[in-house]
């Protein structure tokens, strides 16, 4: 819209990194607004630098824009300086492609990637000039939809959204937009549209469900209140992952973003089942792409974007059934084109010399490993199936190859953790450090740094630890003291700080609909951009909780019984409740569970979901 | 294994290089691209254009590009220059065409040729400034004439030692045209540019606005020439 463009021209130079707010990037899709029938604002509720790095957005942006008469645009949360300028100059939130206000769009979609971005949704709706509560948005459009991992328990956000999309979006987004395109000429009411949408598998319309509570505050029942709403909503899954849509081009930003490179998704799901890890359960089953598909996508993306770095994306890249062959084949292309191949998410136990050599051929940076717990006992509890010997042998090899930096990630406050487990973290770091000194001088690098980072554990829905209490602030403080006094060497750098954000995360992650009011109050008090330390206002959150009778301990620190009705129990993420209970019991018995590759443990996922190890279709050559 | 690690990655590349100098436009939306971002954008454009680009020789080979003058964020220009080298003697118009196809909105390749002057020969640049402030254009024009009539215009300049020096910029300001219509004041000015001494057109305007307590409603600055000591165009 010319009006917004003219206004922007007057204020952009006053903002930091203005290139983020004007669009025009290579790869961005600009269509004729008069020739499109469905307009979708894909909103990432965080800044451009963060949101532009998000792979899901790139996929769904390309997917929707493939349809000639649909137009999907990108929208991000402006930084505070620019937000102030926007408000001062009456500029509503706009799409980066058309510079039109998103208020006039048919759909406004948010991806909920982490709990601390929830309040940005409210702030962005407000900046768009829309009421934040779904019930106050009475006209058909814009239809406000949500997706992403946090939608596995969207209850704390239920009042703000018209519908949620559960699971993988590649098919269901098309179905939803097609339905809208079909119904639009009939001018349905919002309710008429939502009732039809509720029939699509994976679509959850929160206002079509009534929630009742028990006297003790737990959920009693969740019941549909219209015939179209199913008692259980199943997440969507792409069974033929090798054939799923993948963009051949990305929007290439001008300003530097967090992950500024080509990204190719090599596999989805995880075979491991680490008991704290939500991604390990909600993205099941494990599916992978064929080497040729990955190679074609890599080549196309690098050529279309001009990026000189490509990263393989997955939860655990080394679990690809033909990882060595894949890397060999990819590096034939990348080496010739001066493209760096970067491999995040490598698992410690599958790290072999050949893999190390491959990475070596690209860049000698630090190695990062996540043992998550300091002792074998606790690693068994959390089902992080790596042994100390494996950690040691990998680090030994890394030092011999000249690596000088090893980063080790841990979590504090996991179920059954004792002070001995905490001290085990320091002991493990010391052992790794000693390996460097044991490495012959002519082989090892000049100096060494072992970084230990200890985060606070947050129990998440759809994991075996969804029943577990989060450690209290006092407990975490104590554990941190124990760890601090156990670390002796200056070469071990310890980074940890207790942040109240993990308490907030824990409340929101397993919260119910009664939290909507608290979120609304907190937002009214100025809470948003909560994932940014400089913006996080815990005192305001506490006020909001108190005013709305939300007891933090009830949500965060309470041990939940196996038969309690979870706020998300009407959502089906295909992993069975029985399996999660079984896994929880095994955790307390310090028993591990084999990974999917070693044999099926009966998590409840059916073969027709296309899992490599689920007895269904295997990947072809 | 040890020797392998010491081997520069592209050591067997041919050392032949064919230098190219590009003149390009940076207008419209592209004026918000910062200099650092521009370098990345150009490297990626070169990759997309599949030019047989020359990489630096060493452990960390990267695309070699050089900009003789940075253009401040927010300035427009049709005379910007970028140098790079190719591995093959590719014709100028082919290079220009391939690269032009990869330019983002607001950017255009004007020409491609051989570099003639060295970057160090640049001494001045010409800017065309369009300004609307909170006074009538005619009044602004009178004020600007008054500004130019000063013997001395001192600005604060931070030194490397973090102290502040007063610098007289009046001798460096060479206004070649000054006029106005009912909306804007138009200034054409030549300012020192290049390696030894630079004066940013923004600084001149800010100093002017500050001196007469004016607020700019609209300010457009375009670099129109890059000049050598003898007044010839850099090419």
Tokens of B122: 């640049």
Tokens of B179: 């006029």
**Start and end residues for every CATH 3.30.70.580 domain found in chain B:** 2-115
pLDDT digits (tens, 9 = 90+) for B120-170: 999 999 999 999 999 999 999 999 999 999 999 999 888 777 788 888 999
- Residue A621 banded pLDDT, cuts 50, 70, 90: very low
Q: What is the mean pLDDT of the segment spanning A237-244?
A: 96
Does A24 contact B106 at a Cβ distance shorter than 8 Å? yes
Does A360 contact B102 at a Cβ distance shorter than 8 Å? no
pLDDT for res A546: 97
A108 lies in some domain: yes
Which among A502, A533, A559 is the end of a domain?
A559
Residue of chain B whose Cα is closest to the Cα of A444: B2
Looking at beta carbons, which residues of chain B come within 8 Å of A250? none
A201 lies in some domain: yes
pLDDT digits (tens, 9 = 90+) for A102-123: 999 999 999 999 999 999 999 9
pLDDT digits (tens, 9 = 90+) for A121-153: 999 999 999 999 999 999 999 999 999 999 999
ipTM: 0.86
- Residue A404 banded pLDDT, cuts 50, 70, 90: confident
Nearest to A252 among B29, B44, B105 (CB): B44
pLDDT for res B147: 95
d(CA A453, CA A451): 6
Does A306 contact B45 at a Cβ distance shorter than 8 Å? yes
- Residue A318 banded pLDDT, cuts 50, 70, 90: confident
CA distances from A70 to A63, A97, A548, B14, B60 (A): 10, 13, 41, 48, 43
pLDDT digits (tens, 9 = 90+) for B9-67: 555 555 688 999 999 999 999 999 999 999 999 999 999 999 999 988 777 778 989 99
Looking at beta carbons, which residues of chain B come within 8 Å of A305? 44, 48
Residue of chain A whose Cα is closest to the Cα of B7: A361
Q: Is A196 exposed, middle or buried (0-12, 13-18, 19+ CB in 10 A)?
A: middle
At the top level of CATH, the class of B121-228 is: alpha beta
Q: What is the mean pLDDT of the segment spanning A84-91?
A: 96
Element (H, E) at B122: strand B122-133
- Residue A605 banded pLDDT, cuts 50, 70, 90: very high
A179 lies in some domain: yes
pLDDT for res A602: 95
If you count residue pairs, one on A and one on B, with CB atoms under 8 Å apart, how many are there? 71
Distance between A165 CA and the closest CA of chain B, angstroms: 34
Domain interval for residue A136: 2-234
d(CA A238, CA A168): 7
Note which residues in 311-350 of chain A have CB less than 8 A from chain B: 338
Nearest to B55 among A10, A305, A338 (CB): A338
d(CA A290, CA B52): 31
pLDDT digits (tens, 9 = 90+) for A420-472: 999 999 999 999 999 999 988 888 888 899 999 999 999 999 999 999 999 99
Query: Considering the entire predicted model, what is its pTM?
Result: 0.93
Does B5 contact A360 at a Cβ distance shorter than 8 Å? yes
Note which residues in 228-257 of chain A have CB less than 8 A from chain B: 252, 254-256
A315 lies in some domain: no
pLDDT digits (tens, 9 = 90+) for A499-519: 899 999 999 999 999 999 999
Does B5 contact A256 at a Cβ distance shorter than 8 Å? no
pLDDT digits (tens, 9 = 90+) for B54-80: 988 777 778 989 999 999 999 999 999
Fold of the CATH domain B2-115: Alpha-Beta Plaits (3.30.70)
Provide the pairing of β-strand A163-165 with A203-204: antiparallel
Q: Decide if A18 touches B, using CB distance below 8 A.
A: yes
Higher pLDDT, A338 or A249: A249
Find the CATH number of the domain harbouring A46.
3.40.50.280
In the predicted model, is pLDDT for residue A363 greater than 70?
A: no
Which among A183, A209, A234 is the end of a domain?
A234
In the predicted model, is pLDDT for residue B5 greater than 50?
A: no
A446 lies in some domain: yes
A296 lies in some domain: no
Higher pLDDT, B162 or A97: A97
Q: Is residue A472 within 8 Å of A498, Cβ to Cβ?
A: no
B213 Cβ contact list (under 8 Å, min separation 6): none
Q: What is the mean pLDDT of the segment spanning A89-102?
A: 97
pLDDT digits (tens, 9 = 90+) for A282-317: 999 999 999 999 999 999 999 999 999 999 999 988
The domain tally of chain A equals 2
d(CA A267, CA A281): 14
Which among A180, A204, A234 is the end of a domain?
A234
A520 lies in some domain: no
- Report residue A53 CA to chain centroid gap: 12
Distance between A9 CA and the closest CA of chain B, angstroms: 9
- Residue A497 banded pLDDT, cuts 50, 70, 90: confident
Interface with A, mutate which of B12, B29, B50 (most A CBs under 10 A): B29
Interface with B, mutate which of A12, A16, A26 (most B CBs under 10 A): A26
């Amino acid at each position: 819209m010319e009006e917004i463009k003219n206004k922007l021209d007057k204020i952009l130079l006053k903002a930091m990194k203005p290139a983020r707010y004007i669009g025009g990037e290579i790869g961005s899709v600009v269509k004729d607004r008069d020739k499109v029938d469905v307009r979708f604002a894909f909103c990432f509720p965080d800044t451009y630098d963060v949101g532009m790095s998000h792979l899901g957005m790139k996929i769904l942006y390309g997917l929707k824009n493939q349809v000639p008469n649909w137009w999907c645009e990108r929208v991000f949360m402006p930084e505070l300086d620019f937000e102030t300028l926007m408000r001062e100059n009456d500029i509503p939130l706009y799409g980066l492609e058309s510079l039109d206000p998103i208020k006039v769009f048919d759909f406004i979609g948010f991806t909920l990637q982490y709990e601390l971005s929830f309040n940005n949704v409210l702030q962005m709706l407000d900046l768009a000039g829309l009421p934040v509560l779904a019930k106050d948005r009475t006209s058909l459009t814009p239809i406000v939809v949500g997706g992403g991992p946090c939608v596995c328990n969207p209850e704390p956000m239920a009042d703000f959204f018209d519908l949620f999309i559960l699971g993988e979006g590649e098919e269901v987004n098309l179905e939803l937009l097609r339905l809208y395109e079909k119904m639009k000429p009939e001018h349905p009411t919002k309710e008429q549209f939502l009732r039809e949408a509720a029939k699509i598998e994976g679509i959850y319309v929160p206002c079509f469900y009534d929630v009742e509570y028990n006297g003790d505050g737990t959920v009693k029942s969740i019941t549909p209140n219209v015939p179209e709403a199913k008692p259980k909503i199943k997440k969507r899954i792409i069974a033929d992952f090798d054939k799923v849509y993948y963009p051949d081009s990305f929007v290439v930003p001008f300003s530097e973003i967090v992950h500024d490179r080509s990204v190719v998704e090599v596999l989805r799901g995880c075979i491991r089942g680490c008991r704290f890890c939500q991604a390990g359960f909600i993205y099941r089953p494990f599916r992978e792409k064929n080497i040729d598909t990955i190679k074609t996508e890599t080549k196309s993306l690098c050529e279309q974007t001009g990026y000189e770095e490509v990263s393989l994306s997955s939860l655990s890249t080394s679990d690809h059934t033909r990882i060595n062959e894949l890397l060999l084949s990819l590096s034939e292309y990348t080496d010739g084109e001066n493209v760096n191949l970067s491999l995040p998410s490598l698992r410690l136990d599958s790290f072999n010399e050949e893999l190390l050599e491959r990475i070596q051929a690209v860049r000698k940076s630090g190695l990062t490993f996540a043992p998550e717990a300091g002792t074998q006992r606790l690693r068994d509890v959390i089902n992080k199936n790596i042994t100390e010997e494996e950690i040691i042998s990998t680090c030994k090899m890394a030092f011999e190859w000249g690596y000088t930096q090893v980063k080790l990630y841990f979590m504090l406050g996991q179920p059954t953790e004792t002070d001995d487990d905490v001290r085990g973290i320091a002991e493990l770091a010391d052992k790794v450090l000693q390996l460097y000194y044991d490495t012959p001088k002519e082989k090892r690098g000049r100096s060494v740094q072992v970084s230990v980072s200890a985060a606070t554990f947050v129990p998440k829905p759809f994991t075996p630890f969804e029943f577990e209490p989060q450690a209290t602030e006092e407990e975490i403080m104590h554990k941190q003291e124990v760890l601090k006094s156990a670390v002796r060497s200056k070469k071990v750098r310890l980074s940890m700080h207790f942040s109240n954000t993990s308490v907030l995360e824990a409340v929101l992650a397993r919260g119910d609909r009664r939290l909507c009011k608290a979120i609304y109050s907190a937002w009214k008090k100025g809470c948003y951009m909560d994932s940014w330390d400089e913006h996080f206002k815990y005192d305001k959150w506490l006020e909001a909780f108190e005013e709305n009778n939300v007891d933090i301990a009830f949500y965060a620190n309470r041990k939940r019984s196996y038969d309690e009705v979870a706020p998300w129990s009407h959502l089906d993420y295909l992993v069975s409740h029985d399996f999660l209970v079984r896994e929880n019991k095994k955790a307390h018995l310090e028993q591990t569970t084999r990974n999917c590759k070693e044999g099926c443990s009966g998590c409840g996922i059916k073969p027709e979901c296309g899992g490599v190890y689920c007895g269904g279709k295997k990947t072809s050559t | 294994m040890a020797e392998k690690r010491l081997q520069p990655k592209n050591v067997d590349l041919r050392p032949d290089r064919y230098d190219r100098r590009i003149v390009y436009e940076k207008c419209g939306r592209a004026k918000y691209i910062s200099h650092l971002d521009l370098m990345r954008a150009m490297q990626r454009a070169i990759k997309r254009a599949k030019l047989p680009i020359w990489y630096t020789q060493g452990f960390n080979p990267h695309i070699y590009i050089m900009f003789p003058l940075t253009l401040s964020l927010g300035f427009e220009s049709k005379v910007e220059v970028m140098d790079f080298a190719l591995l093959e003697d590719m014709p100028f118009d082919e290079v220009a065409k391939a690269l032009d196809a990869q330019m983002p909105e607001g950017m255009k390749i004007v020409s491609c040729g051989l570099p003639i002057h060295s970057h160090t020969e640049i001494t001045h640049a010409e800017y065309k400034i369009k300004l609307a402030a909170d006074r009538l254009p005619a009044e602004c024009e009178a004020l600007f004439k008054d500004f130019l009539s000063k013997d001395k215009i001192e600005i604060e300049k931070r030194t490397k030692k973090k102290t502040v020096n007063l610098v007289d910029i009046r001798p460096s300001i060479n206004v070649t045209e000054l006029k106005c219509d009912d909306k804007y004041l138009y200034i054409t000015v030549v300012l020192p540019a290049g390696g030894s001494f630079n004066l940013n057109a923004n600084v001149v305007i800010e100093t002017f606005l500050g001196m007469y307590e004016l607020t700019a409603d609209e300010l457009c600055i375009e670099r129109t020439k890059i000049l050598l000591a003898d007044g010839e165009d850099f090419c």
